[in-house]
Amino acid sequence: MRYFAFSLIFFMNISPVNAELYSKEAAQVFLTEYCITLVDEIEKSYQKQKEAVERNRTSDFNKLGRWIYGISEVFANLDCSNQINKHE
């Protein structure tokens, strides 16, 4: 799981060294954008999974499934559904 979180930080070009949020509002905006980025990545990976099925590449399909599962776990742990619903 640590590898996944580390990969996700690099994937999203987020530097924890430069992360400075000075208000709850700024933190909420950041968290909402982060959650939306997670959903976007799940959708992209799902499309790639469909392509893998069409090409009969079960190995790629399985790798993407694990990737989607990991992102979904982060999404659930952050309670992103509530974050996104608050800002619609």
Q: How many CB atoms lie within 10 A of CB 43?
A: 11
Whether residue 79 lies inside any domain: the answer is yes
Tally of domains within the chain: 1
Reported pTM: 0.69
Q: Which residues form the domain of 60?
A: 2-9+22-86
The pLDDT assigned to 68 comes to 97
The pLDDT assigned to 28 comes to 85
The residues near 86 (Cβ < 8 Å, ≥ 6 apart) are: 28, 32
Whether residue 53 lies inside any domain: the answer is yes
pLDDT values of the chain reduced to their tens digit, one per residue, 88 residues: 445 555 555 555 555 555 566 788 888 888 899 999 999 999 999 999 999 999 999 999 999 999 999 999 999 998 888 777 765 5
State the Cα–Cα distance between residues 31 and 8, nearest whole angstrom.
Answer: 14
Whether residue 60 lies inside any domain: the answer is yes
The pLDDT assigned to 39 comes to 94
Whether residue 15 lies inside any domain: the answer is no
